[in-house]
């Protein structure tokens, strides 16, 4: 278990406004989404890239796993 593996970040799924506590977005009133972004050196914190290292999206893999699960699985690195 890493140093930050129990850290949870709460984000608005529309505005991506981060906070450390659950609640609602101050902009739109939507319920905030709780996510575990992983340790600082965890590869899930990097943007999604193809096999040539080209960035496919600026969103980190942990967010894609939550928001567009099928896409994240399709591009999941093979171990």
Entry pTM:
0.55
CB 78 within 8 A of CB 62: no
Q: Distance from CA of residue 63 to its chain's centroid?
A: 2
Q: 63: buried, middle or exposed (CB in 10 Å: 19+, 13-18, 0-12)?
A: buried
Per-residue model confidence as pLDDT tens digits over 14-53: 888 888 899 999 999 999 988 888 788 888 888 878 888 8
Query: How high is the pLDDT of residue 29?
Result: 93
Beta-bridge partner residues of 31: 24
Q: Rounded to the nearest 5°, which phi and psi values hold at 65?
A: -60, -30
Q: 21: buried, middle or exposed (CB in 10 Å: 19+, 13-18, 0-12)?
A: exposed
């Amino acid at each position: 278990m890493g140093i930050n593996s129990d850290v949870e970040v709460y984000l608005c799924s529309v505005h991506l406004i981060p906070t450390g506590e659950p609640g609602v977005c101050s902009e739109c009133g939507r319920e905030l989404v709780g996510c575990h972004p992983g340790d600082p050196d965890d590869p899930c914190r990097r943007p999604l890239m193809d096999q040539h290292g080209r960035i496919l999206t600026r969103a980190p893999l942990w967010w894609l796993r939550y928001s567009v699960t099928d896409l994240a699985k399709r591009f999941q690195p093979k171990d």
